[in-house]
Amino acid sequence: MSADTPRRIVLLRHAKADWPEGSDHDRPLAERGRKDAPAVGRKLAATGISFDLALCSTAARTRETWKLVVHALPNRPRTVYEERVYDASLGELIALLNETPDEVADLIVIGHNPGMHALADALSGRAEGDTLARMSRSGFPAAALAVVSFTGSWKSVEHGVGTLVDYWTPADH
């Protein structure tokens, strides 16, 4: 793939998590999260995006979200459980995107707030329709997803490089 290849990044915040005793990393999904995650999968399947790679935080709630989402997808992408996605800053997330191999056209990242919202906002130099306004109003709740398109290599991903083409939350369902 060349440097002018159109690419898409889908940023997915994990579904609603429970708050049991124990570490934050080990928090499972709440009942609502287990209901919302398959709806996210159906939404992603409806977009027609065929992911080449999934980067998923190692936290229990992100792994459980991804497991429920991926069942609705027509093709299961290669999945890398990446500990650096957990509790990552905006700069750390951009650095991870910059490491993506250029063979990857469409990437999904399953992570946490505030990182997913900050990354969607930072990458979106432009937006289609009211997507940016809707994302700003809702604040990127659990199981929200943003689709950002851009042209270029993954090494060129930086602030303002993309267009926010879709934004969805379970409340839209």
Mean pLDDT by groups of 10 residues along the chain of 173 residues:
82 96 94 97 96 98 98 96 97 97 97 97 96 93 98 95 96 83
Alpha-carbon distance of 121 to 140, in angstroms, equals 10
Phi, psi at 9, each rounded to 5°:
-120, 125
User: Is 105 in contact with 156 (CB distance < 8 Å)?
Assistant: no
Alpha-carbon distance of 20 to 28, in angstroms, equals 8
Query: Model pTM?
Result: 0.96
Q: So what's the pLDDT on residue 24?
A: 94
Q: At 80, which helix (H) or strand (E)? A: strand 78-81
Q: Which residues neighbour 7 within 8 Å (Cβ) at sequence distance 6 or greater?
A: 104, 105, 106, 107, 149, 150, 151, 152, 154
Q: So what's the pLDDT on residue 3?
A: 64
Alpha-carbon distance of 14 to 61, in angstroms, equals 6
CATH code, residues 6-172: 3.40.50.1240
Boundaries of every domain in the chain:
6-172
